[in-house]
Structure 1
């Protein structure tokens, strides 16, 4: 006799055919534009190539990419992926079979279809000789980061001020100030996919503790619809009994990655963490996700006088950041599970080694919308569903302390405290705008324990 159906199994996954959904708009409009951008990028690189075989391969790559775009526009069935030597291909093709072999671009599970898109693109490059390690999104990453130079300078200046304040002796007054600094730096990491740093208080220590400072921070938190920052602070501010390792599963390269590294450095230098492990993708993924090469690329950009002619604070920050990597206090790690189409509900069964590694971590921070969608199985949960329930095997009794920092940019959002709050959000930003426009966010925490509640 089959066992009881779990809550996660009952929840409908978002499909690209769902009327009025972000999924449908993305599949119909955004995906073809992204693929055309890939075609244009390869053409631009090939135009400067001196190697004839490389140019010839570029033509075949462009043809394969155009075929994907045409399949999208014609709403054709998703075809099985060719083997490129990596084990994850079987998982994609098995899922296609489970879906009946009839899923089309405009009628498939959104999370699977989107992962399938980037994995299919990777097979094109992996099966070449001259383009095997090519990052088709690097040009876009570099351009976007260069445009964020003012925000980088502002954050560098603020960071040096924060570090001066965050190492104060631990009396009661200073402890409260340390918490407010933690709130501010966590919000920098939360909103790091936007180069608008208007949320930075730029307040002195005395100002932070004033009524005006408290009000400024409270205002900045207004659009965080599930806010567990207090619980995270309570956990991290407890005395260190052993080395505290914090893992950060990264999202976007460029400015957001810079904010992540700044946040990690803050956690280290304020004594809230001992070691930081950044989890990067194995290959170019979802346009701008961080891959291993983006780490050195970040430092090359930061050290570029042409991008950053105003170097007063950047020259103070960069050596500190490099020193953390050189000492091993910061490091990067890769795992093939991050570029599968599986939700994190399946990690324990399909990637047990990774799951056990995260259990050893003091806290795992998942950045961005895709990681949030994978945590919650991209399900259309009631918005009041507790975060710990929505993340399934990563939640209660997992032994993993999970923190999700995510601006709302898709159809899934959980952890809202009450239906009254949901109703107010729907009135404030009707038609689901508050879960899609990137102006609202969550700071969601699960302690990984059996206890009820969030």
Structure 2
């Protein structure tokens, strides 16, 4: 596979640098205010804030997985000098340790991002999205399917981590920079669909609605939803977030909620939370058990920006690099549904990038106003 430079954070003018220098400190402050943490957690958060901006990578002696993910190789180096994907993932692991998530203690298992996630479900926008299901239900199945696919795709714009930095959701006209959706549907012929979820709240609900539709219309026999084993990247979905989302649909009297609840209880929809889902490495390094699971699926859908970075590698690929090139390692058919919120991009035709740069400079890569659907059969 052709190589490309790994994305770092050492350029002060770069998007990755702004994430580490601006977004992460802002998030620490929001988490600090979200719960009545005690003095020990406040001291740990203050220390993390100082370390993340001015300090160096420290060991994670309490996590055997991170030992295998290369933490020792980066100990003592600036957060800005190691791969961006690795540094960003390491930050969230350190944040959880700072608030006592891994315990033992009274804050063990308490999701520091839960107030933000629940707030996403209790909004007029979320209520309108559920109400729109009634209007969609009378449409032909093919039209429903396409609408739900785009709902799942654009639901990512509710990503809470993105909104912490940007202030609110972007209102600019959104558009697809690549659309392989016509190659996606023939892969769903009654077998198994794996969905590697991204965000909770207003993104997870459209993902679940798409799964419900495919089960309901026999396009798949079963679905496997991969989640994070613990809170991550502010809004990444965990098992608790799935329960919240399905319960929200049931409470709203949406028929899809009852169907999803039934699908969970009878095994047509199953949940997975593998430790590698919180890893700082690309999917090219997936462990054997995950590789076998992806290989057995009729299709794996990778949702969101982080999964895209891990799927193709968080590198500065030439944008015209075919999507099939950096995903050639993947053991089965794979599709990416992603709104663009980071620098990495592949699979564009030769005319798309020049037109975007002429209109927006390089902001098109990170603004969240563009999206893509890419498929490797």
Q: TM-score, normalised by structure 1?
A: 0.75
Whole-angstrom CA distance in 2 between matches of 1:155 and 1:270: 21
Kept in 2: contact 1:42–1:62 (CA 8 A): no
Bigger mean CA offset, 224-233 vs 122-131: 122-131
Whole-angstrom CA distance in 2 between matches of 1:164 and 1:110: 46
- Corresponding residue to 2:108 among 119, 132, 138: 132
- Corresponding residue to 1:117 among 87, 91, 99: 91
Q: Which residue does 1:354 correspond to in 2? A: 290
Q: Which residue does 2:162 correspond to in 1? A: none
When residues 283 and 259 of structure 1 are mapped into structure 2, their CA distance, relative to the original with a 3 A threshold, is same
1:16 and 2:9 correspond: yes
User: Number of residues paired by the alignment?
Assistant: 363
Q: Which residue does 1:424 correspond to in 2? A: 355
Kept in 1: contact 2:156–2:338 (CA 8 A): no
Displacement of 1:421 in angstroms is 1.9
Give the CA RMSD over aligned residues: 2.2
- Corresponding residue to 1:383 among 313, 319, 323: 319
Structure 1 SS opposite 2:16? helix
Kept in 2: contact 1:408–1:438 (CA 8 A): yes
**Structural mapping, 1:21-36, within 5 Å:** 21-36=14-29
- Which has more radius of gyration? 1
Q: For residues 325-364 of structure 1, give each alpha carbon's deviation from its aligned partner in whole angstroms, at most 9, with x where no partner exists.
A: 22322121111111111111111xxx11111111001111
- Corresponding residue to 1:244 among 173, 191, 194: 191
Q: For residues 368-417 of structure 1, give each alpha carbon's deviation from its aligned partner in whole angstroms, at most 9, with x where no partner exists.
A: 110001112111000001111123522xxx3x111110000001111102
Moved over 6 A (4+): none
- Corresponding residue to 1:279 among 178, 203, 226: 226
**Structural mapping, 1:153-168, within 5 Å:** 153-167=127-141
Q: TM-score, normalised by structure 2?
A: 0.90
- Corresponding residue to 2:307 among 371, 379, 403: 371
Displacement of 1:129 in angstroms is 2.0
Name stretches of at least 5 consecutive residues in structure 1 with no aligned partner.
1-5, 47-57, 168-177, 197-220, 305-310, 448-454
**Structural mapping, 1:407-422, within 5 Å:** 407-418=339-350, 420-422=351-353
Structure 1 SS opposite 2:206? helix
Q: Which residue does 1:38 correspond to in 2? A: 31
Whole-angstrom CA distance in 1 between matches of 2:208 and 2:4: 35
Q: Which residue does 2:149 correspond to in 1? A: 186
Bigger mean CA offset, 322-331 vs 367-376: 322-331
